[in-house]
Amino acid sequence: MSGLSKNIEEMLSRLADNARTEQDFVQTLSEALRRVDEQLLRDVRNVSLQHELRREAILGELQELATRLCALPVRGPAVPAIDQQMMHQGHAEIEPPMPPSGADWRQATQNIGDEFDFSFNAPRH
């Protein structure tokens, strides 16, 4: 019987050693996963920050472009060409008048800002 109890004690000792070793492995794995998770979170925040900076730069460029386009001289009313149609009535057709051009760039700039506000200030899930 003493051999049996000795074997049981050895098995319990090995089992306790194995449990400690496995607990150390689990602890090491847990710490490694935590570090990787924190690094991933930092990387995602960094990418998000870079994206926001690029978006703000692009928005600034678009607003500057819109401002410069609004600063361009507005086309005046079309000046009628010299009336040579009387001389060449059968030879040339009259060109149709140019349609009014241009859009309201101030409104377009405001629309861009509103669109960004709507997209980025909405509740995120």
Domain boundaries along the sequence of the chain: 1-71
Q: Given this model, what pLDDT does residue 79 score? A: 60
Residue pointed to by tokens 């600063």 = 71
Q: Given this model, what pLDDT does residue 93 score? A: 54
pTM of the model: 0.44
Which value, to the nearest 10 degrees, does the dihedral of the CA atoms of residues 49, 118, 70, 53 take?
Answer: 0
Helices and strands in the chain: count of H runs, count of E runs: 2, 0
Q: Given this model, what pLDDT does residue 98 score? A: 60
**pLDDT by residue, tens only, the chain of 125 residues:** 678 888 999 999 999 999 999 999 999 999 999 999 999 999 999 999 999 999 999 998 988 898 888 765 556 676 665 655 555 555 555 555 565 556 677 788 888 888 777 777 766 55
Task: Please state whether 102 falls in left (phi above 0), alpha (psi between -120 and 50) or beta.
Answer: left
CA 125/CA 123 separation, integer angstroms: 7
Q: Given this model, what pLDDT does residue 16 score? A: 96
Q: Given this model, what pLDDT does residue 12 score? A: 94
Q: Given this model, what pLDDT does residue 116 score? A: 75
Q: Which residues contact 41 (CB under 8 A, 6 or more apart)?
A: none
